[in-house]
Amino acid sequence: MTANLLADYPDVFAGGAVNSGLPAQCATSLAAASSCQRNNQNLSPAQWGDKVRGSAPGYKGTWPRVAIWQGSADYTVRPVNGTELRDQWTNVRGVSNQPAATRQLPGNTTETTYGTDADRPDGALFSVSGMGHGLAVDPDPGSGSGDTPCGSIGAYFLDTLCSSSYTATFWGIDSR
C-alpha cells in the first residue's frame, strides 16, 4: 500500500518506507496480490517505473525517496519484492539500480543505498538477514549494539533493529 500511495500522490509525499511490501501497481487484484507476494514478476526496471509513472500521469516534480525494508526469511512477501521495489523506484528517480554504498548495521541488516548524492541517497534497501514478515523493532538493543531502542515485540513486530530510526536518518530528519 505504501508504494501505491507514493505513486498516486507524489506531490504529497516527499518519501516513504515500504516494510515487507510490494511494488506499486503489482497487486491490482486478489489473484495478482498473491502472485506478487510469492513470485518474481520478471519486469524490467523501466516496466516497474512505468507502473509508477502511470499512476500520476503528467507529474513533473521530484518523485519520493523510498526506504525499502525486507526480511530474507519472509515467506509471506518474498524477498524478491525488495529487489523489484528497488528497481521500480531507482528507475522512477532516474538513478542506477547498482549500489552506491553498502554498510552493515546491527540486527544482521545490510543497508544498500542508490543514487549519486552520498549525503542524500535516492533510495535505500535494508535487507534483514533471517527476518520473517513484519516490521523490524528493537525494544532492548543491549550494550554496545549502537542501535536505538524502539517498539515492542509481537506478531509482525520482529526483534532485530530499530527500522524507524534508520528510516528517519535516511530521510534526514534524525542523525545517528
Kindly report, residue by residue over 7-26, the tens digit of the pLDDT: 999 999 999 999 999 999 99
Residue 105: beta bridge partners?
109
Q: What is the rounded CA–CA span in Å between residue 89 and residue 123?
A: 7
Q: What is the rounded CA–CA span in Å between residue 104 and residue 17?
A: 19
Q: Where are the domains of the chain?
A: 2-171
Mean pLDDT of 127-131: 97
Which residues are within 8 A (CB) of 166 and not within 5 positions of it... i.e. 6 or more apart?
67, 105, 109, 111, 126, 176
Beta strand pairing call for 109-114 and 123-128: antiparallel
Mean pLDDT of 145-150: 75
Q: What is the rounded CA–CA span in Å between residue 23 and residue 33?
A: 10
Global pTM reads 0.94
Residue 146 pLDDT: 64
Q: Which tens digits make up the pLDDT trace of 72-98?
A: 999 999 999 999 999 999 999 999 999
CA distances from 42 to 29, 93, 97, 113 (A): 18, 20, 15, 22
Cell of 130: 533471517
Mean pLDDT of 25-39: 90
Q: What is the rounded CA–CA span in Å between residue 108 and residue 113?
A: 17
